[in-house]
Amino acid sequence: MNYFPDEVLEHVFDSIASHKDRNSVSLVCKSWYRIERYSRRRVFIGNCYSISPERLIARFPGLKSLTLKGKPHFADFNLVPYDWGGFVYPWIKALAESGIGLEELRLKRMVVSDESLELLSKSFANFKSLVLVSCEGFSADGLAAVAANCRFLRELDLQENEVDDHRGHWLSCFPESCTSLVSLNFACLKGEVNLGALERLVSRSPNLKSLRLNRLVPLDTLQKLLMRAPQLVDLGIGSYVHDPSSEASNKLKHAIQRCKSIVSLSGFLEVAPRCMSAIYPICGNLTTLNLSYAPGLHGNKLTKLIQHCRKLQRLWILDRIGDKGLGVVASTCKELQELRVFPSDPFGAGNDAVTEEGLVLVSAGCPKLNSLLYFCQQMTNAALITVARNCPNFIRFRLCILDPVKPDPVTNQPLDEGFGAIVQSCKRLKRLSLSGLLTDQVFLYIGMYAEQLEMLSIAFAADSDKGMLYVLNGCKKLRKLEIRDCPFGNSALLEDVGKYETMRSLWMSSCEVTLGGCKTVAEKMPSLNVEIINESDQTEFNLDEGQKVDKMYLYRTLVGHRKDAPESVWIL
Amino acid sequence: MESSSAYGNDLNLKATELRLGLPGTTDEETAAPGVRNNKRPLQAEDAGEKCGANGKSEPQNETAPPSKAQIVGWPPVQSYRKNNLQAKKTESEPGLYVKVSMDGAPYLRKIDLRVYKGYPELLQALENMFKFTVGEYSEREGYKGSEYAPTYEDKDGDWMLVGDVPWQMFITSCKRLRIMKGSEARGLGCGV
């Protein structure tokens, strides 16, 4: 099989970037496996408990970049106990002891202690990039260690983490010799940073392309930073409140106008709508705009802003934009690919919310739309059918009707036909989230048509086990299935336990599966960890097999039961 | 900068808090982790309206439709996002313009109180606008070290010293500002 010297194959493999492709390459034959593993630089591990750091290191000694994900997705919505797991420390410790030259670490939903960050900062001389998304467990002290010790740091990107950072000293810990920063994102931090240190840091970082500030960076500092970094490509404004007629505002306008490379704008954690006109000069270049933390922007001021953004490809917005505002998006943003509409008032009356009308308008005006997250008051089958016809290119389609079991308000029917149209039309659909009143029928459609589906989220849907069976039997590429509050029980769960080995994970909460059913899965499939999570009362781990299980999370693994589970988690 | 930090425990400032939403509702009805809803919400309020479905095979635990506030983890909005959005509702209000007069100045000015995050910024803006310095504030003695004192007329028509009450309470009760000068100012700030 091997007619080329190893170096040639290695060179060829270098051009194969996707994880999937590299995994496939490694399966061709023994020598390809060998060459691939030595030349592999980037590894993605979607579930940190599926493999151990030791085995990772043994197989990929040349590892430079590691991506790890910890808690299940539903942890975002408070459905997973805070101490469930997902600790990064053992990974960092093992990597540090192995001599691997780690340069990049990207973590999502993991517990990251200050101790881990300190160890990280001291163990890898060439460490360049730290990206933490939805993590917790660290404070400003950990960040200070990273700033102080990672001499060639290029990227420190903190996205939506819960950080204990009342002390802002960490930013002052970047040494004067640190001039390599390309990306700095501390928008999620709540503490004040030393503004002088921030200005000096930006001044000595000529390669800085991405800067996202937190709410406590005042306007005059923002203006100075922009003057020092006109080469910025991505800007996150923390606080944006000023008097448009003031001198400070004029200076800011001038500074913004100099930044001709900015294509991505976000933040606006605090904003006064009258001030947005200062942004207009750069709107024409924007491809990404995130206003989803700015409930103060709505009505005319918002639509006027949108009308300047003709090149927009990605828009994250609050539902205060309304259907009319989405109409403006539809007529202005012809290049739009991704739209996310978040609820500004998740529990409120939703006076400003969006409905099916807004979605239909966008689907008609933006033919390139392929990714959607849409929180709305209501949806109709007719609208979904229209959307499916207008936009057959959806890769991600996540619809969340705020009332979880709401039918089509016009016909009072379930939304089976509407979602059915989506899966039938969008042949490349990989991710789907359902909501509204749904019967088993929608799952029949999903099983029949959603051939590329990899991730499915279901809540308050279906009538019987048939729903789950349609999906498990039909969706051959399914990797992640998460279900809450559906009438799926043991016969669905146990129909084909081998299927779960082909998937990353299955989450079922408030369904009909019993302890006995879960135990059966665990017995038949030693390659799965079947976890029962019970938060309410420790003593409820009674052994009654007929007891319904509140939360079950199962996932495939090569390394057996994890040793770090808390008391609320029972691994069968 | 959580909104909760602005509310003291003793002053019942929630009563004067500006929020969106109907009076009598609170926005903190999110079910905390550990508060579980053991009841399965009804699939549809009238089971008979479900077309083509056999209906659920087991009886419901409750007959009332779920209120959104009771369901843990619904709607599926990231906790981080929920926590960071609540604090910003006040910014959706329109501007709060009040007149500012200064003793001896030929004309008045108007400022938008919502543009400022707190007293330091407001006082700085006033100092810049009228070219004076305001001195140092203390609860006991008012503004020391200057012949000026910033005052405001509140909803009851009384003239109050700026800085005594929490910021949120101030901006909702301030009708106009007046920068007093000279002996009149000192009389107001007198600690005796």
Whole-complex ipTM: 0.88
* Ranges of H-type helices in A150-230: 195-203, 219-228
Q: Three-class SS of residue B49?
A: helix
- Tokens 């944006």 belong to residue: A240
Mutate one of A463, A466, A538, A548 to test the B interface: name it (highest B CB count within 10 A). Answer: A463
Residue with tokens 């240190």: A197
Q: What is the SS3 string spanning A110-151? A: CECCHHHHHHHHHHCCCCCEEEEECCEEEEHHHHHHHHHHCC
Which pLDDT value is given to residue B131? 84
Q: Pick the residue with more confidence: B173 or A132?
A: A132
Q: Which of A77, A190, A215 sits opposite B76 (nearest CB)?
A: A77
| Residue of B27, B56, B76 lying closest to A463 (CB–CB) | B56
Q: Which of A405, A471, A396, A457 is nearest to A426 (CA)?
A: A396
Prediction pTM value: 0.79
Q: What is the 3-state secondary structure (H, E, C) of A305-356?
A: HHHCCCCCCEEEEEHHHHHHHHHHHHHHCCCCCEEEEECCCCCCCCCCCCCH
- The confidence score (pLDDT) of residue B5 equals 42
Q: Crossing angle, helix A381-390 and helix A356-365, to 10 degrees?
A: 10
Nearest-neighbour CA in chain B from A305: distance (Å):
16
Structure tokens at B45: 């309020």
Query: Biggest alpha carbon distance in chain B?
Result: 84
The lowest-confidence range among A417-421, A430-434, A500-504, B111-115 is B111-115
- Worst-scoring range by mean pLDDT, A309-323, A457-471, B1-15, B96-110? B1-15
Q: Select from A210, A294, A287, A225 the least CA-distant residue to A256.
A: A225
Question: Which residue from B minimizes the CA distance to A461?
Answer: B43
**Predicted confidence (pLDDT) per residue in A30-46, tens digit:** 989 999 999 999 999 99
Residues of B in contact with A79 (CB under 8 A): 72-73
A129 forms beta bridges with A104, A155
Which pLDDT value is given to residue B9?
45
Task: Give the minimum alpha-carbon distance from B125 to chain A in angstroms, rounded to a whole number.
Answer: 10
Residue A545: pLDDT band by 50, 70, 90 thresholds? Answer: confident
CA distance B155 to chain A (A): 25
DSSP state, residue B147: S
Q: Is A89 on the interface with B (CB under 8 A)?
A: no
Tokens representing A355 are 């409905």
- Cβ(B96)–Cβ(B114) below 8 Å: yes
Q: Does A344 touch chain B (CB under 8 A)?
A: yes
The answer to whether residues B129 and B100 touch, using CB atoms and an 8 Å cutoff, is: yes
Q: Do A535 and B33 touch (CB under 8 A)?
A: yes
* CB burial string A374-391: b at 16+ within 10 A, e below: bbbbbbbbbbbbbbbebb
- Residue A134 has its nearest CB partner, among B71, B80, B84, at B80
Q: What pLDDT sits at residue A247?
A: 82
Contacting residues for A411 by C-beta, under 8 A, at least 6 apart = A380, A381
pLDDT digits (tens, 9 = 90+) for A280-296: 999 999 999 999 998 88
**A292 touching B (Cβ < 8 Å):** yes
**Contact A416/A391 with Cβ under 8 angstroms?**
no
**Token pair for A145:** 């260690």
Q: List CB contacts of A56: < 8 A, sequence separation 6 or more.
A: A43, A45, A63, A66
Is the Cα dihedral A484, A490, A492, A496 positive or negative?
Answer: positive
* Residues of A (198-217) whose Cβ lies below 8 Å from B: 215-216
Distance CA A446, CA A143 (A): 45
Other C-beta atoms lying within 10 Å of the C-beta of residue A193: 23
